[in-house]
Amino acid sequence: MLNLVLFGPPGAGKGTQSQKLIEKYQLVHLSTGDILRNEITQGTELGLEAKKLMDQGVLVPDAVVIGMISNKLDSNKGANGFIFDGFPRTVAQAEALDILLETKHTAISGMIALIVDNEELKKRLLLRGKESGRPDDANPEIISKRIEEYNNKTAPVANFYKAQNKFQSVNGIGSIDEIFASIAAVTNSFN
């Protein structure tokens, strides 16, 4: 199986590049942000709780997202592999993911980090907020909070995969196709 973690701060382009990876490698896309937004749309209890946190730009509890990922792995048993997008976002989530995959006799193939500077990120998120109507993209204070959460809790996840020799980074600035070519080259090196 090919199991990729796509990594990078909010606005780095993980969603866009995930779509291209799915097509090329026939993978199942697991975006915790999308799953949570779906829960909100459905009006589930989990969605109502998550919305309060997401609207403030803070992370939802580890146990909640780990449970969601576990369910998705179970419901996609025949998959060629997975793209984890927006997960793991804490070291505790990364540890839990390793254990989940081990019980399924597979493992993370590698992490690919998209490198984009803060100024460019803020620009992209504000633009996305105008176009997509995502409330957490429309407000500069919430964007700053998300970047702060990323720096404090999520950035250390890179070290977790570096310690396993599974970390690679690519430049996240350029055309979508240029960036994808770099990602595909790294992905092929994991195979």
Contact residues for ligand ADP (CB under 6 A)?
Answer: 10-11, 32-33, 36, 53-54, 57-60, 65, 86-87, 89, 93, 136, 146
Rounded Cα distance, 28 and 13, in Å: 18
110-115/2-7 β-pairing: parallel
Nearer to ligand ADP, 151 or 188 (CB): 151
Rounded to a whole number of angstroms, the minimum distance from the CB of residue 70 to ligand ADP is: 13
N residues, the chain: 191
Nearer to ligand ADP, 125 or 188 (CB): 125
- Which residue do the tokens 């146990």 mark? 63
Whether the Cβ atoms of residue 75 and residue 82 lie closer than 8 Å to each other: no
Rounded to a whole number of angstroms, the minimum distance from the CB of residue 93 to ligand ADP is: 6
Rounded to a whole number of angstroms, the minimum distance from the CB of residue 188 to ligand ADP is: 25
Retrieve residue 178's tokens.
Answer: 């240029």
Residue type, 180: F
Rounded to the nearest 5 percent, the helix, strand and coil shares of the chain are: 60, 15, 25
Name the strands in the sheet holding 110-115, side by side, starting at the edge strand that comes first in the sequence. Answer: 28-31, 81-85, 2-7, 110-115, 167-171
Rounded to a whole number of angstroms, the minimum distance from the CB of residue 168 to ligand ADP is: 19
Nearer to ligand ADP, 87 or 161 (CB): 87
Phi then psi dihedrals of residue 162, to 5 deg? -60, -40
Nearer to ligand ADP, 10 or 110 (CB): 10
Rounded to a whole number of angstroms, the minimum distance from the CB of residue 177 to ligand ADP is: 21
Q: Which residue is nearest to ligand ADP (CB)?
A: 33
Nearer to ligand ADP, 87 or 180 (CB): 87
